[in-house]
Amino acid sequence: MNQIRTIKGTHDVLPDNSKDWQRLEKIIHKNASLFGYNEIRTPIIEEAGLFNRGIGENTDIVSKEMYSWVDRDNTTIALRPEMTASVVRSFIQHSLGNQSSLQRLYYMGPSFRRERPQKGRQRQFHQFGVEAIGSNNPEQDAEVIALGWQILSEAGISNLELKLSSIGSEDCRNKYRNELVNFLKPYKSKLSKVSQQRLINNPLRILDTKNKDEIDIIKSSPIIEDFYTKEDRSHFKQVQDYLNAIEIPFSLDPLLVRGLDYYTQTTFEIISNDIGAQDALLGGGRYDGLIKSLGGKDTPAVGFAAGMERILLAISTNKDNEKTRPIIYIVCVEKDALGSVQKIAKGLRSLGYNVLLETMRRSMKAQMREANRCDANFAVIVGEQENNEKTVQVKNLNDGNQETIDQKNLFNHFKSLTI
Ligand code: AMP
């Protein structure tokens, strides 16, 4: 029979790697909480219309990469390709804006895009992100960036680079878009097929090109800065001042144009030079127009999304050794003691030890070998004699010392060890 394997672009997280995931998740929860952000969990499936409206029908994400299907009741359903639209849908649906004029939210979970898989690019990938909904002030932008920066730094990525830009207000963006189109039109025949299409649908995305000839053309294109209003300029300047105040280094990148339609003002990306072509770890910005466009009240917001696989790729080379709890392996070769060792295991776990209990009824030698394989620090051994005498042997597997301890004193013995 044919063996069934994972679908292209999806991956299992195997036991060897799941600890790295848990560690990253812990860092995210901890720092989000330190910054006053609360977790929000939304469904993986949504009405496709949410993403058509929230991301934009002309974006690659929606037009080419979204998994969607017509369900039995004729609604078109999609696997979420990102989570901001879902969070905003939830914010509107549950009137979260009425509970508090500023909602600081964060999320974590899988997203789906039918992209061409490569290193750091999957079809099912995991994102975490934050959305601060309610403040239109630049200090909110700086706070969101600081939280992203803090999480990536604490995860252990040293080679971080923050790129910052502003695409101004909607007004500025519209004027700039027109100028850019006017500038690019004479070069149309020199543009790639994709860019020719973008010239009609999403011209700002052309600035994102990796095509060498197009990069040359863009070098002399109009720059967005010249279209900023006074307010745009002041907002952007303050974001930079606040980042300087908290000593987060950044470089300005006027070509940083996020692929999504709803961004206004600040946009940013954090990259790592350690992970190859797909170097964007985290991307975000202000999206003051989104909530209204999805049917909510006009509410400003800023956020980011980060790719967890890419973060793990970036730290796999310089992982620090986290202190883990000591492991006790309970070796039991006496059938009559199988009940009492369960109780011993329960008590030791409540003291904070990781306890592995033999359930294969193997020989003493095989159980000791297993204890070593699991990197156990101690073996608690119960044989016929120990069971009769209500004692155990405690063997320190690091130095080989072994002592006999009364079962009634066992918990105090382990309590007195510093763990
Ligand atoms: P985006 O929603 O496109 O701004 O993506 C935000 C972040 O998610 C990126 O910076 C990546 O780290 C990550 N990401 C996006 N698409 C993928 C993908 N196909 N595979 C892995 N990570 C991704």
Report pLDDT digits (tens) over 32-86. Answer: 999 999 999 999 999 999 999 988 887 888 989 999 999 999 999 999 999 999 9
**3-state class (DSSP) for residue 357:** strand
Q: Enumerate the β-bridge partners of residue 267.
A: 165, 285
Main-chain phi, psi angles of 44, to 5 degrees: -75, -30
Q: Is the pLDDT of residue 418 over 60?
A: yes
Lateral strand order in the sheet of 76-79: 45-47, 76-79, 68-70
Indicate whether residue 310 lines ligand 1 (CB < 6 A).
yes
Q: Enumerate the β-bridge partners of residue 268.
A: 164, 284
Q: What is the pLDDT of residue 261?
A: 59
Distance (Å, whole) CA 399 – CA 105:
48
Indicate whether residue 263 lines ligand 1 (CB < 6 A).
no
CB neighbourhood size of 301 (10 A): 29
Which of the pair, 366 or 56, is modelled with greater confidence?
Answer: 366
Indicate whether residue 281 lines ligand 1 (CB < 6 A).
yes
What's the gap in Å between 306 CA and the centre of ligand 1?
6
Q: What is the pLDDT of residue 106?
A: 98
CATH of domain 327-415: 3.40.50.800
User: What band does 263 get if pLDDT is binned at 50, 70 and 90?
Assistant: confident
Alpha carbon distance, N-terminus to C-terminus of the chain: 50
Average pLDDT over residues 301-327: 82
Average pLDDT over residues 232-244: 97
- Residue 214, by phi and psi: left (phi above 0), alpha (psi -120 to 50) or beta? alpha
What's the gap in Å between 170 CA and the centre of ligand 1?
25
Return the structure tokens found at 201: 């649908």
Ligand 1, atom 12: closest residue by C-alpha = 307
Main-chain phi, psi angles of 268, to 5 degrees: -155, 160
Distance (Å, whole) CA 339 – CA 18:
31
Which of the pair, 177 or 321, is modelled with greater confidence?
Answer: 177
Indicate whether residue 113 lines ligand 1 (CB < 6 A).
yes
What's the gap in Å between 165 CA and the centre of ligand 1?
19
Ligand 1, atom 17: closest residue by C-alpha = 121
What's the gap in Å between 284 CA and the centre of ligand 1?
11
The overall pTM is greater than 0.75 = yes
**pLDDT tens for residues 86-128?**
999 999 999 999 999 999 999 999 999 999 999 989 999 999 9
Indicate whether residue 65 lines ligand 1 (CB < 6 A).
no
Indicate whether residue 115 lines ligand 1 (CB < 6 A).
yes
Question: What ranges make up the beta strands (E) of 200-297?
Answer: 251-252, 264-272, 280-286
Whole-number percent of the chain with pLDDT over 70: 96
Residue range(s) occupied by CATH 3.40.50.800 in the chain: 327-415
For ligand 1, mutation pick of 7, 111, 267 (most atoms within 8 Å of CB): 111
Using the 8-state DSSP alphabet, how is residue 296 labeled?
A: S
Q: What is the pLDDT of residue 380?
A: 97
Helix axis angle, 15-34 to 138-155, nearest 10°:
150
What's the gap in Å between 283 CA and the centre of ligand 1?
8
Indicate whether residue 121 lines ligand 1 (CB < 6 A).
yes
Please list the alpha-helical segments (H only) found in 42-83: 48-54, 60-63
Q: Is the pLDDT of residue 198 over 80?
A: yes
For the domain 15-169+229-314, what is the CATH superfamily, name and number?
Bira Bifunctional Protein; Domain 2 (3.30.930.10)
What is the overall mean pLDDT for the chain? 93
Indicate whether residue 82 lines ligand 1 (CB < 6 A).
yes
Residue range(s) occupied by CATH 3.30.930.10 in the chain: 15-169+229-314
Q: Which amino acid is at 213?
A: D
Dihedral, CA of residue 363, residue 364, residue 365 and residue 369, to nearest 10: 100
Q: What is the pLDDT of residue 303?
A: 98
Residue 331 and residue 387 in contact, taking contact as beta carbons nearer than 8 Å:
no
Q: Which atom of ligand 1 is nearest to the CA of 115?
A: 19
Which of the pair, 274 or 290, is modelled with greater confidence?
Answer: 290
Whole-number percent of the chain with pLDDT over 90: 80
For ligand 1, mutation pick of 125, 160, 256, 304 (most atoms within 8 Å of CB): 125
Indicate whether residue 128 lines ligand 1 (CB < 6 A).
no
Q: Is the pLDDT of residue 321 over 70?
A: no
Average pLDDT over residues 267-295: 89
Ligand 1, atom 4: closest residue by C-alpha = 283
